[in-house]
Amino acid sequence: MTERIGVLGGTFDPVHHGHVATAVDVRHALGLDRVLLVVAGDPWQKRGRVVASAEDRLALVRCAVEGVDGVEASAVEVERTGPSVTADTLEALGGPDRELFLVLGADAVANMGTWRRLEDTKALATVVVVERAGDLDVDPPGAGWRAVHVRVPRLDVSSTDLRARLAAGRPIDGLVPPGVIAMIRSRHLYTPTR
């Protein structure tokens, strides 16, 4: 039996309901066994802009998916040193009895041209282009990709906005699972130190 596994990578700085809702909807739409939220250890395209440590971001994602059927956190990129490269990650997660589905938002697909080892990525996974209502229709760059499109609702929440809210002392309830909020508070994340 081949296991069908979704791979949703991100910085998750911090994780929010948009990430979880997307993982759940893609799993349902494609009948995947599991969807992994893969926390970037060293997101080289965001260097200098990542606020929380990989360990904290991973702990928040673990908390966010607790009790969510078929959705798990993956530490594979956090445990590896060096920049996070998608093809490396897919190779680490793949296997003879596994079929991988690389889940990407339209923004991430538009950025694929800058990826390292882009050509190698084609053979490693089917790309799942997640389309939020209002997004432009996008496809991976060049020929030879296996790609499917999944519509998901547009939840207007982003990690950037959450960091700004926390820095300004504004609430984030309803945008992030309650357990994650408690962990952000107890670890004193995203708030100015005084």
The yes or no reply on residue 41 touching ligand ATP (CB under 6 A) is no
- C-beta contacts of 77-80 below 8 A and 24+ residues apart: 77/9, 77/38, 77/39, 77/40, 77/41, 78/39, 78/40, 78/41, 78/54, 79/41, 80/41
Residues 144-163 contacting ligand ATP, CB under 6 A: 155, 157-160
The yes or no reply on residue 45 touching ligand ATP (CB under 6 A) is no
User: SS3 for 172?
Assistant: coil
Could you tell me the smallest distance in angstroms from the CB atom of residue 36 to ligand ATP? 12
The yes or no reply on residue 108 touching ligand ATP (CB under 6 A) is yes
- DSSP output for 55-115: HHHHHHHHHHHTT-TTEEEE-TTTSS-S---HHHHHHHH--TTEEEEEEEEHHHHHTGGG-
Q: Is 36 left (phi over 0), alpha (psi -120 to 50) or beta?
A: beta
Please identify which residue in 5, 6, 7, 18 interacts with ligand ATP, judged by CB under 6 A. Answer: 18
159, exposed or middle or buried, with CB in 10 Å at 0-12, 13-18, 19+?
buried
Q: Tell me the C-alpha distance between 128 and 104, whole Å.
A: 6
Please identify which residue in 7, 20, 22, 100 interacts with ligand ATP, judged by CB under 6 A. Answer: 22
Could you tell me the smallest distance in angstroms from the CB atom of residue 67 to ligand ATP? 20
Per CB under 6 A, the segment of 15-23, 118-126, 134-142, 176-184 that binds ligand ATP is 15-23
The yes or no reply on residue 119 touching ligand ATP (CB under 6 A) is no
Could you tell me the smallest distance in angstroms from the CB atom of residue 107 to ligand ATP? 5
The yes or no reply on residue 105 touching ligand ATP (CB under 6 A) is yes
The yes or no reply on residue 104 touching ligand ATP (CB under 6 A) is yes
Q: Which residues pair with 150 in a beta bridge?
A: 130
Could you tell me the smallest distance in angstroms from the CB atom of residue 9 to ligand ATP? 7
Closest to ligand ATP by CB, 2 vs 158, is 158
Q: Which residues contact ligand ATP by CB under 6 A?
A: 10-13, 18-19, 22, 104-105, 107-108, 132, 155, 157-160
